[in-house]
Each structure stands twice: as C-alpha cells, then as structure tokens.
Amino acid sequence: MASSPVHLAYRPTFAASQAVIHTDFLIIGSGIAGLSLALNLAERGRVTLVTKKALEDSNTNYAQGGVASVLGEDDSFDLHVQDTLAAGAGLCRREIVEMVVRDGPARIRDLESLGVAFTTQGGQLALGLEGGHSRHRIVHNADHTGREIETHLLDAVLDHERIDVHPYHMAIDLIGPRHVERANVRGVWGAYALDAATGEVRAFVAKRTVLATGGAGKVYRYTTNPDIATGDGVAMAHRAGARIANLEFVQFHPTCLYHPRAKSFLLTEALRGEGGRLIDAAGARFMDAYDARGELAPRDIVARAIDSEMKKTAAPCVYLDVTQLPSGMIERRFPSILERCLDFGIDPRREPIPVVPATHYFCGGIDVDARGRSSIENLFAIGEVSHTGLHGANRLASNSLLEALVFAERAYDGVLENVDTVTLPAVQPWEAPRGHVAPDPMVLEHDWDEARRVMWDYVGIVRSDQRLTIATERLSSLAATVESVYRKSRVNQDLLELRNIIEVGRLVVRSALLRKESRGLHYTETYPDRDDAHFLRDTVLERGGE
Ligand code: FAD
Ligand code: SIN
C-alpha cells in the first residue's frame, strides 16, 4: 500500500535517551481509533501517542469498503440497528448498537471537516451495499477508504502541538500497581515500550492509558490483516487482569485473493454488493444453495459456504466473478483492486478472480462500557481491540470503522472524568528479562509458523471439541517454550509479538471451548445448534477468574 511521504519523512523530536516520559494521556496505536481520540483529548492536555511501526501502519490504512452510516433517503436508524442486531445473533448490547448507529452521521461529518473526501454521485455521497445491510449505506472513497481517512487524521495529529508521537515504539506491558513506588494504588499508569531504534525500553507514565492497538489477524496463518495485527492490546490487558470478552467470535472474510505471491490482499465485499458472483472451478454459482441472500448473506455464512465447497471438491480456492459488471465500473469504483490483480496477471474485467476465506476481524476484545472504560481503573480501550457489545456474535460489514469513530468521541468523557485530581506516581524502570542474548531468529520464525498453523488448522471456520483440545495442548507447550526464551533473552519485537499471538490464541481456544453451541461466527461440529437457554450471554475471561 502506498504511503504518504509526509509521514515517512517524520522524525521524532524527543530526546532519544529519555527513559521515563510523563504525560496526561497515553494512547497506544495510530489507527482510526487512536488518532481520532488523540485529536479530541489534545484540547484538554498533553497527549503522547506511541505506535509500534510507521505511523500509518494499521488495519485502518487497508480498509476498502467504507464506513456504514444512515445517510440515504430510504434508510433509517431503526433499519441499521435491526441489521446490526440480526448479524450479532442475540449477543449485541442493544443500547450500544443504538448509540453507535445514531452517532454515525455526525462522525462522518467530522471526517469531512478534516478534509476526508468520500465518493459522490450526482452531488450526494455515493452509498455502497454490503452483506447483511438492507439498504445502501456504505460511505467510501473508491476502494481505498481507509487510506483516505488515515492520511487526513495523521496530518491533523502531526500538526497538533499538544500531541507527541513516538513511532517504532512497541508497548510491551502496562504499568500496574507493582511497578509504582506508592502504597495503595490501583489501576494502570501507562506502559513500557521498546524503542526499535535503540533497543531500550522506556516507561511512558500517564494519568490515563488508552489501548487502540487494533486486531489480531496475525494469530492465524491466513489473514487479510497487515503485520501489526498481533493482538498485543488484548494480551497486555489480560496480563494486567482486565476482563476480556467473546474472543471466540473471529470473523473470516470470504474473499481474500488466492495467489502464491499475494500476501493478505482483500477483495472488498462491495464487489459482491455491485453484483459480483461466487463460482466454482466449473463456473457454477453455489451461494443460493446455502442462503436465500446468495452472495450478500452475512460473512459467516458466505465464508462457511466457501469452506464447504472447497472441502467437497478438494479445490484450493473458489472464484469471484465480476466480469459482468457494467463497463468502466471496475476502473472507477475499484482502482486499487484492479491494479493489484493486474500485478498478479489477473484481469478481473475478463476472468474470475481466485479467492479463499481468511481471518479478518476479532469481534471480541477488552470488555468496555459505553465510554470505553475497561474493568481496570485508568485503562481504556477503543477500536478493534475492544469489546463494546456492538457486534455481538458477528460483525456487520463496515460497522468497525464506525465503532472506532463513535468510541473515540464517547471515550473522551470517560478519559477526562476526575482526571484533574490524579497525580502521577514514581514508576520503576522496566524489569528486564535476565538474558542479554537475542533469541535465535530461525527458531522464532518456526514458532511463529507453528502457532499460526495450529490456529488455522484447529481453531478455524469449522471447529470441534476434539480440534480445540488438540490446539490447547499444542499452544500450551509452545507458550512454555516461548516464555522460557522470553525470560532468558534480550527482547525484540518478533519475540514480544510471538508471545502475544500465543497468548491471544490460547484465549480464543479457551473461549471457544466454553461456548458449547454454534452461534454467529463460532461454529462447532460438536454442538451444531444455537442454545439460547444456556449461551445467550458473553464469554468472559478474567485472569484468575475464568
Ligand atoms: P488499527 O487501525 O489496526 O490500528 C492499530 C494501531 O496500533 C496500529 O498503529 C499498530 O501499529 C498499533 N499497535 C498495535 N500493537 C501495538 C503495540 N504493542 N505498541 C504500539 N502500537 C501498537 N472495517 C470497516 O468498517 N470498513 C471496511 O471497509 C474495512 N475494510 C477492511 C479491510 C481490511 C484489509 C482489513 C484488514 C480490515 C478492514 N476493516 C474494515 C476493519 C477495520 O479496518 C479495522 O477494524 C479498524 O481499522 C481498526 O482500527 P483501530 O484503530 O482499532 O486499529
Ligand atoms: C470489505 O470491504 O469487504 C471489508 C469491509 C469490512 O471489513 O467491514
């Protein structure tokens, strides 16, 4: 994905040797959620934003389809609420769904006021259609909506004098009571972060800490997510004792490009919204046999249908056929996809595109309330890392950028609550693991591969208790090995991320084993039916409490 040169040229202005940095608000992550909240909070204090790679490295930057919001004349808040609740299969928090849907149009206007351009038609916003939506309501910028949003938010953040940004700083762990030199304190007081340039670990000490670290697609072997999506926020919050909810609900996107050289390239659902059809190798459509809504059924249904077709025919992929779309539409509406497919020698205007499902989105995460407050004092979570109750057991397409925008606004009040009464404690330096030798990169790579394969093979689209039990054993053994390497080595980003993907993988497996039914994105052959009598509730994990 092309990056804006202005961000690549950015150089941090703080002194490189500063081991402890004090701030009012620490935000971890520079996607749509972290950047939006940083802009809001900068009106009220000093904001420090750390992010583990380049500033624009985020899932946000890759979002294609757009942002769902009620803007069409034939649409209504009620319809968007109903569609979201239907996809969520009984587990959405209704008051959160209503809040997010109703706030949507104002948040779209905020983006426009920052200069974000959305595609228009006849002077009005052009509204796309995606699976599970009963109306056209996806606001977009061709097929690179995320990049348009990320670029404008970053420009505004970099222009703001009260926001300090620290790229290439990976948060390792949250600062808790045991790191603080003051008696009887509770909660979180910032985070320790590894500076990739120097290998030093800095303490970022803050009155309020916000995790905006995004998703965890990299926990699985095949994913639409970029490399940053290693579930660090959930792993850190869990280690700190925060409540984590509904991690069994992992969304697989039905259409990821299938090509040996293509790493994680999504083919937006909007292609099906415009009339794209799924076919098998013989050219036959199959979706109607699975759901009356055909290609526009919710994603879990489409992904399972493709999985089943591939298993039935032992085919490595199915195909997305957009050759019948009106002439010029692919060039105009999907320019990035056209360019990328042509790079791989596939011309979507003339031939079907090979596709497979891939891990795309985590509906669960750090459990928060309507203001982004986690179960731990001073700790907040917004965006994909959080579980707000909007998505329930399955996320409706294009509802996540919307959720991030709404919670970045709503969390503002939560973060500011009583903040003036808080004084920062003295914090101990990071308790480094004992070793000084870097971990062997080849062994790390193999462990990465093994963890992600176990998740793909045993915790994928179709699960069973037997498979989940195998995954439990394999991941426990890997976790023990990696923890011992962690204790003995000089840490680096690869090792820290590996530790986190294994931790999140284990939490997904534990959650999946607890849900003895099939619902939304969680489908298990051991319990193929939905069981409202016992499982119309969230799966909550708490350290020591689960
Ligand atoms: P992200 O945008 O992922 O940002 C997370 C940030 O945290 C990154 O900057 C990352 O580097 C940083 N970070 C992570 N760990 C650490 C750490 N330990 N220390 C420091 N920094 C850290 N949703 C929609 O609604 N509409 C769409 O059209 C759409 N299309 C998508 C297409 C693709 C290919 C993908 C992958 C996702 C898509 N989604 C879409 C989902 C949506 O993009 C994400 O849910 C959303 O962008 C998440 O935003 P976020 O700010 O929470 O996280
Ligand atoms: C897509 O464009 O298909 C992705 C939309 C989403 O994940 O919400």
The tokens of 76 are what?
Answer: 């209504």
Give me the CATH topology for the region 441-541. Answer: Methane Monooxygenase Hydroxylase; Chain G, domain 1 (1.20.58)
Q: What local confidence, expressed as pLDDT, does residue 6 receive? A: 37
User: What's the 384 CA to ligand 2 centre distance in angstroms?
Assistant: 13
Residue indicated by tokens 């983006």: 111
Helix (H, G, I), strand (E, B) or coil at 326: coil
Task: Write phi, then psi, for 45 (nearest 5 degrees).
Answer: 170, -175
Provide the 8-state DSSP code for 321. E
Q: Is 398 in the pocket of ligand 2 (CB under 6 A)?
A: yes
pLDDT at 105 (0 to 100): 98
Q: Give the closest ligand to the alpha carbon of residue 366.
A: 1
Over residues 424-429, mean pLDDT = 92
The one-letter amino acid at 347 = D
Q: How many CA atoms, within 13 angstroms, populate the side-chain half-sphere of residue 367?
A: 18
Q: Mean pLDDT over all residues of the chain? A: 94
H or E element at residue 253: strand 250-257
Beta strands 169-174 and 190-195 are antiparallel
**Interval 110-121 mean pLDDT:** 97
DSSP H or E segment with residue 192? strand 190-195
Q: Which two tokens stand for residue 115?
A: 């200069």
Show the beta-strand stretches assigned E in 297-364.
318-321, 353-362
Q: Any idea which residue has 């040797």 for tokens?
A: 17
286 touches 305 (CB < 8 A) = yes
Contact present, 335 and 489 (Cβ < 8 Å): no
DSSP E strand stretches across 388-543: 540-541
**Overall residue count recorded for the chain in this entry:** 546
CA–CA separation, 533 vs 515, rounded Å? 12
The Cα–Cα gap between 137 and 126 comes to: 9
Matching CATH number, 256-358, of 3.40.50.10490, 3.40.50.1400, 3.90.700.10, 2.60.40.10: 3.90.700.10
What is the DSSP-derived secondary structure letter of residue 440? P
Nearest to 294 by CA among 254, 337, 351: 254
- The residue whose C-alpha atom lies closest to atom 12 belonging to ligand 1 is 29
Mean pLDDT along residues 406-418: 97
Closest ligand 2 atom to the C-alpha of 267?
3
**Nearest-CA neighbor of 538 among 244, 241, 211, 242?**
244
- Ligand 1 centre distance from Cα of residue 215 (Å): 6
Per-position DSSP letters for 9-47, written without gaps between them: T----S-TT--EEEEEEEEE--SHHHHHHHHHHTTTS-E
Residue range 183-234, pLDDT digits in tens: 788 999 999 999 999 999 999 999 999 999 999 999 999 999 999 999 999 9
Answer yes or no: are the C-beta atoms of 229 and 214 closer than 8 Å. yes
Strand partners, 427: 180
**Strand 201-211 and strand 379-381: pairing?**
parallel
CB under 8 Å to 512, separation ≥6 — which residues? 248, 459, 463, 468, 522, 524
Among 60, 151, 299, say which to mutate for ligand 1: greatest number of ligand atoms within 8 Å of CB.
60
Question: Rounded to whole angstroms, how far apart are CA atoms 346 and 338?
Answer: 9
C-alpha radius of gyration, the chain, whole number: 22
Number of C-beta neighbours around residue 534 at 10 A: 9
- CA pair distance 518, 516, nearest whole angstrom: 7
3-class DSSP assignment, residue 450: helix
Phi, psi of 156 (to 5 degrees): -65, -40
Q: What is the DSSP letter of 295?
A: G
pLDDT at 361 over 90: yes
Q: What percent of the chain shows pLDDT beyond 70?
A: 96
CA of 161 to the centre of ligand 1 (A): 25
pTM, full prediction: 0.95
Give the side-chain half-sphere CA count within 13 A for 456.
17
The 3 state secondary structure assigned to 366-378 is EECCCCCECCCCC
Min mean pLDDT across 6-10, 352-356, 520-524, 530-534 is at: 6-10
Ligand closest in space to the Cα of 60? 1
H helices of 314-361, where?
329-333, 335-343
270 close to ligand 2 (CB < 6 Angstrom): yes
β-bridge pairing 163-166 and 138-139: unpaired
CA separation (Å) from 238 to 49, 112, 293, 392, 546? 21, 36, 39, 20, 11
Map tokens 């803050």 to a residue: 206
Q: Kindly state the helix (H) or strand (E) to which residue 201 belongs, with its residue range.
A: strand 201-211
Q: Residue 544 — very low, low, confident or very high, per pLDDT cuts 50/70/90?
A: low
Which of the following is catalytic: 272, 299, 515, 519? 299
Return the CATH number of 21-249+363-421, one of 3.40.50.300, 1.10.10.10, 2.60.40.1240, 3.50.50.60. 3.50.50.60
Highest mean pLDDT: which range of 14-18, 294-298, 542-546: 294-298
Mutate to test the pocket of ligand 1, among 145, 173, 213, 395 (most ligand atoms within 8 A of CB): 213
**How far, in Å, is the centroid of ligand 2 from the Cα of 253?**
8
Mark out the alpha helices in 291-334 (DSSP H runs). Answer: 299-313, 329-333
pLDDT digit string, tens, across residues 484-507: 999 999 999 999 999 999 999 999
Residue 442's region, left for phi above 0, alpha for psi from -120 to 50, else beta, is alpha
| 87 vs 299: CA distance, rounded Å | 9
Q: Which residues line ligand 1 (CB under 6 A)?
A: 28-34, 50-53, 57-60, 62-67, 145-146, 170-171, 212-215, 224-225, 228, 232, 266, 361, 383-385, 398-401, 404
Gap from CA of 66 to ligand 2 centroid (Å): 7
Ramachandran sector of residue 108 (left: φ over 0; alpha: ψ -120 to 50; beta: rest):
alpha
Domain ranges of the chain: 21-249+363-421, 256-358, 441-541
349 in active site: no
**What mean pLDDT do residues 354-361 have?**
97
pLDDT (tens digit, 9 = 90+) per residue, 232-275?
A: 999 999 999 999 999 999 999 999 999 988 888 999 999 999 99
Q: What percent of the chain has pLDDT over 90?
A: 90
As a whole number of angstroms, the distance between CA 511 and CA 525 comes to: 16
- 218 Cα to the center of ligand 1, angstroms: 12
483-486: long-range pairs with CB below 8 Å, 24+? 485/439, 485/443, 486/433
